[in-house]
Structure 1
Amino acid sequence: MKNIRAAAGIVASAALVLGLAGCTGGGTADSSSGSPETLKMGVINNFPPFEYMDGDELVGFDIEIVEAILAEEGLVGEWQVMGFDGLIPALQSNQIDLAVSDISVNEERKSVVDFSDAYYEDGQSLAVAADSDIKTLADLKGKTIVSTQGTNGNVQAQKVADEYGATVQTLTASDALFLAVTSGQADALVIDTSSIQYRMATDTNEQTVRMLEEGLESAPTAIAVPKGNEELVATLNQGLKKIRDNGKYDEIFSKYLSAE
């Protein structure tokens, strides 16, 4: 289990200009200028601590990990904000070169896109309002669970609902899940475990949500790329290994996530 530490004061640019070396991954070097092609990178912007807005800056664990990888490999990238359910289709249609948003690796996704090596292990958990009388999954009978469209959380929410007699409502934005539960519009939410822990750690006055002890699923998180782009996958893996070896990964991890 992870505890989430607030990442105050972290500033990162939503548009990257990280290097002048030739691109060896999904982008290709411009033969006339020798400069690398800009990688188009899909991301959501409302899922702390992985990606979120700090004022007008896009920040988060995923953001800094990808930026660090690109810097090591001399690549240039530009973030394109979109809905989570649009990331995989955008990769399939080659509108973007990579996608990152705490994307869990599963067999269904592996059939349509490729993934880098895993850079984090996350899970799906269920949370309720702090004062809710729901103590176990069995208490969800007749209740409403909210989850985000196109996510593993949506799959897990439906499994729980089917088993325990609840109803699932699908929302388009991850940050809307917490509002639905704390405002009483829904009884429970399913989302990545780290997101719940982050919310609990950063509640300012009093705890607004609590997480049920039963974890629903655990899965690796990785960077997604269009199917068949083995060169870009190899480049991302190479950069990821470098930042693990030189301590940059641990530095970024300590800003956003810390082990007990």
Structure 2
Amino acid sequence: MKKFKNVILFMTTLALALTAACSGSKSNESAASEQNSQETTSDSNKYIIATDTVFAPFEFTDASNKFVGIDVELLDAIATDQGFEYELNSLGFDAALLAVEAGQADGVIAGMSITEERKAKYDFSDSYYESNVTMAVAIDSDISSYEDLSGKKVAVKTGTKGADFAKSIMEQYGFEITEFSDSPNMYQDVIVGNTVACFEDYPVMAYNIKQGAKLQMPGDIKESGSSYGFAVSKDKNSELLEMFNKGLANIKANGTYDEIIEKYTK
């Protein structure tokens, strides 16, 4: 009887040992799998890039519902040249900046002017476009100069160089400012007469007028504008910024850059 009890005790101990061993093996396999998954994610060369929704000719949706524009094609050409993958998220200008600040996007390309104020939050690439600022009015408007804006309302797009310029002269010429989050609504406000003029980057306004916007640029006004740059959050994603600069230099050298610019501005 004693021997029989010893046998039972031995078999029970062996079973428990085998169960623990199997459990440990599965746990190790699970940990290894999780580690491999984390390594795959961290080694990924795909970046999230935020952009505006409507800022033609830099980013917009064409007649076939395809997202296109100077920024879109430049980014694609640079990514191809440098061998990195990206996902382009069309968020709107303000939302794109917030996404980068919050770490939800690695970079932003959205006709973004390089300014000293923005340099406090972002690191910028080399300039990829030089732009001027212009004023536009409705096609039947009698506004022909800044003096004609006195006592009236002027439309601007929040966060743009056009808005900065308008604010810099508003007291001098005695007009008020109404801000919009996107260009199409700003244009429409001028067209229907709620505001008498708007300030916009010259290539953007010229493109929209060419496409049929019922606006005109009185006297073809061109004020000193700004340089556009690709941006990442301050002191982050330096490798992405470096690749953008290298790729930009390469596509300028091989003619791809000029082809893209001429496609949307000629």
Residue 208 (structure 1) shift: 2.0
The partner residue of 1:83 within 92, 103, 123 is 92
Give the structure with the larger strand fraction: 1
TM-score by length of 2: 0.80
Matched residues, number: 226
Residue 33 (structure 1) shift: 8.4
Residue 88 (structure 1) shift: 2.4
Residue 47 (structure 1) shift: 1.1
Q: Which runs of 5+ in 1 are unaligned?
A: 1-29
Contact 2:54 2:92 in 1 (8 A): no
Extract structure 1 runs of 4+ deviating beyond 3 A.
30-37
Residue 216 in 1 paired to residue 223 in 2? yes
Give the structure with the larger helix fraction: 2
Q: Which residue of 1 aligns with 2:55?
A: 47
User: Which deviations, in whole Å up to 9, do the C-alpha atoms of 1:185-238 show, x marking residues without a partner?
Assistant: 2100111111110122222xxx72111333233211111111113322211100
Contact 2:161 2:225 in 1 (8 A): no
Q: Which residue of 2 aligns with 1:4?
A: none
Which of 123-132 and 34-43 deviates more? 34-43
User: Which deviations, in whole Å up to 9, do the C-alpha atoms of 1:99-132 show, x marking residues without a partner?
Assistant: 1111111111111101111111012211111111
Aligned equivalents of 2:99, 2:211: Cα separation in 1: 33
From the CA coordinates, give the structure whose radius of gyration is larger. 2
Aligned equivalents of 2:227, 2:205: Cα separation in 1: 17
Residue 31 (structure 1) shift: 4.3
Q: Which residue of 2 aligns with 1:246?
A: 254
Q: Which residue of 1 aligns with 2:265?
A: 257
Q: Which runs of 5+ in 2 are unaligned?
A: 1-37
Q: How does 1:226-241 map to 2 (within 5 A)?
A: 226-229=233-236, 230-241=238-249
Aligned equivalents of 2:146, 2:154: Cα separation in 1: 11
Contact 1:115 1:225 in 2 (8 A): yes
Which of 62-71 and 78-87 deviates more? 78-87
Aligned equivalents of 2:195, 2:145: Cα separation in 1: 16
Residue 139 in 1 paired to residue 148 in 2? yes
TM-score by length of 1: 0.82
Contact 1:88 1:113 in 2 (8 A): no
Give RMSD over aligned pairs: 1.8
Contact 1:125 1:217 in 2 (8 A): no
Contact 1:145 1:161 in 2 (8 A): no
Q: Which residue of 2 aligns with 1:11?
A: none
Residue 39 (structure 1) shift: 0.8
